[in-house]
């Protein structure tokens, strides 16, 4: 028996990944840039055993159906192939993040699965190799290998598409991300389906791609210069452009709800009142607010008037993927 257990944290993109050039290999259309967070994470154990006749997948202590298990099996096949291993596995995963609600469970979940499988199989991967493997499970997962800021360099092939960490001289520790959880139920349109529909049908998709390089350049410069306002402005702009593309898809759709609008309007109002803060949104209705840590308390006070305390979650910059155990019995 070989087992590995890891913890991987979620990340939220400041410059979004939205669209694939290659569906099977998960090569993206554009680079993306993210911040790994401490408040939401996944712990996954993978145990390969001679006694099993098929893979088993438990998520939050519930045995999963054949469809969910097949996704995990297909991913494990990639790790098994690297190790020349033919054993089946039991996967036990705990999400300390709502699953499929636009809070990046696929980022922490698939990074944890990649890390646990490679620890169990003693693949001894470099961060770049682990990032490449995690990418095959979910694109955003390739950024969760790193703590702090990370950029997924889209590359042109399986070998060249992976994320790298971005050194930021402690700037990441001056930041907070406040989550306004307006709905933690599973979304109707997965990130995967939403972005594919957009690439294939949205008249605005070309416009999205056009401005990503300049937004990335602005974000990298803002990080290098520890310029919070510049980083916040480009973060908000990237999210709005990404969400704009879905409105022009066929059939059209949006991840926004009335509560999302309420949170975004409140952020604008708080900003106009003099507190610098900026929102971003992913494939779901929840709103994330980037703020300087020194202004975190003031922002929370302003949010408390409009949202219940349990809807508001404070996150700070999170660490890289962590190995919790590696055993052979
Ligand atoms: P999210 O916004 O939460 O990332 P996605 O639509 O991108 O939503 O992905 C959700 C999917 O990610 C789930 O349906 C499941 O297939 C996968 N997933 C989430 N958590 C885990 C986990 N801990 N282990 C394996 N797969 C997971
Ligand atoms: C809007 O990584 O969840 O959150 O690669 O198909 O698994 P798949 O999609 P996923 O997409 C994330 C989209 C996003 C933006 C981002 O995280 O960069
Ligand atoms: Co996801």
Atom of ligand 1 at shortest distance to CA of 95? 23
Q: Are 277 and 253 in contact (CB under 8 A)?
A: no
Q: Is residue 329 pLDDT above 80, yes or no?
A: no
Residue 225 exposure: Cα atoms within 13 Å on the Cβ side:
11
d(CA 100, CA 121): 28
Q: Is the CB of 148 under 6 A from ligand 1?
A: no
Q: Is residue 37 pLDDT above 80, yes or no?
A: yes
The residue whose CB lies within 8 Å of the most ligand 1 atoms, and thus the one to mutate among 106, 113, 188, 321, is 106
Q: What is the pLDDT of residues 46-105, one digit of tens each?
A: 999 999 999 999 999 999 999 999 999 999 999 999 999 999 999 999 999 999 999 999
Nearest protein Cα to ligand 1, atom 16: 68
d(CA 264, CA 267): 5
Which of 100, 114, 42 has its CA nearest to residue 72? 114
Q: Is the CB of 104 under 6 A from ligand 1?
A: yes
The domains found in the chain, sorted by start residue, are: 2-170 (3.30.230.10), 174-315 (3.30.70.890)
Q: What is the pLDDT of residues 197-250, one digit of tens each?
A: 999 999 999 999 999 999 999 999 999 999 999 999 999 999 999 999 999 999
Give the number of other Cβ atoms within 10 Å of residue 104's Cβ.
Answer: 31
243 vs 142, 200, 246, 299, CA distance in Å? 22, 15, 6, 24
Q: What's the mean pLDDT in 300-312?
A: 96
Strand 88-96 versus strand 162-166 pairing type: unpaired
Q: What is the pLDDT of residues 147-182, one digit of tens each?
A: 999 999 999 999 999 999 999 999 999 999 999 999
Q: Is the CB of 13 under 6 A from ligand 2?
A: yes
Q: What is the pLDDT of residues 307-320, one digit of tens each?
A: 999 999 999 999 99
**ipTM of the assembly?**
0.99
Residue 132 exposure: Cα atoms within 13 Å on the Cβ side:
15
Q: Is the CB of 198 under 6 A from ligand 2?
A: no
Q: Is the CB of 26 under 6 A from ligand 2?
A: yes
Give the number of other Cβ atoms within 10 Å of residue 244's Cβ.
Answer: 15
d(CA 259, CA 89): 41
Q: Quick one: pLDDT band at residue 38, thresholds 50, 70, 90?
A: very high
Residue 294 DSSP one-character state: G
Q: What is the pLDDT of residue 165?
A: 98
């Amino acid at each position: 028996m070989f087992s590995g257990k890891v913890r991987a944290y979620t990340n939220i993109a400041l410059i979004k990944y939205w669209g694939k050039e290659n569906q099977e290999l998960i090569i993206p259309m554009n680079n993306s840039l993210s911040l790994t967070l401490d408040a939401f994470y996944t712990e996954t154990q993978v145990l390969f055993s001679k006694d099993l006749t098929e893979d088993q997948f438990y998520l939050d202590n519930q045995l999963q159906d054949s469809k969910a298990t097949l996704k995990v099996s297909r991913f494990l096949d990639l790790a098994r192939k690297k190790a020349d291993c033919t054993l089946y596995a039991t996967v036990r995963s705990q999400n300390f993040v709502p699953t499929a609600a636009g809070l990046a469970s696929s980022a922490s979940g698939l990074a944890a699965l990649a890390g646990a499988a490679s620890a169990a199989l003693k693949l001894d991967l470099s961060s770049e190799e682990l990032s490449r493997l995690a990418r095959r499970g979910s694109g955003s997962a390739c950024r969760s290998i790193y703590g702090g800021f990370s950029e997924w360099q889209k590359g042109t092939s399986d070998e060249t598409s992976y994320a790298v960490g971005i050194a930021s001289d402690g700037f990441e520790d001056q930041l907070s991300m406040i989550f306004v959880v307006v709905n933690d139920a599973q979304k109707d349109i997965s990130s995967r389906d939403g972005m594919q529909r957009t690439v294939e049908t949205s008249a605005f998709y070309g416009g999205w791609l056009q401005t990503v390089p300049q937004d990335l350049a602005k974000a990298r410069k803002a990080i290098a210069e520890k310029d919070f306002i510049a980083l916040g402005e480009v973060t908000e702009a990237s999210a709005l452009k990404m969400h704009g593309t879905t409105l022009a898809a066929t059939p059209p759709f949006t991840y926004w709800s009335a509560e999302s609008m309420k949170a975004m309007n409140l952020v604008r109002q708080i900003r106009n009142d003099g507190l610098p803060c900026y929102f971003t949104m992913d494939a779901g209705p929840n709103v994330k607010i980037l703020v300087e840590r020194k202004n975190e308390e003031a922002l929370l006070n302003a949010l408390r008037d409009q949202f219940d305390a349990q809807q508001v979650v404070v996150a700070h910059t999170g660490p890289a993927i962590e190995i919790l155990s590696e055993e052979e019995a």
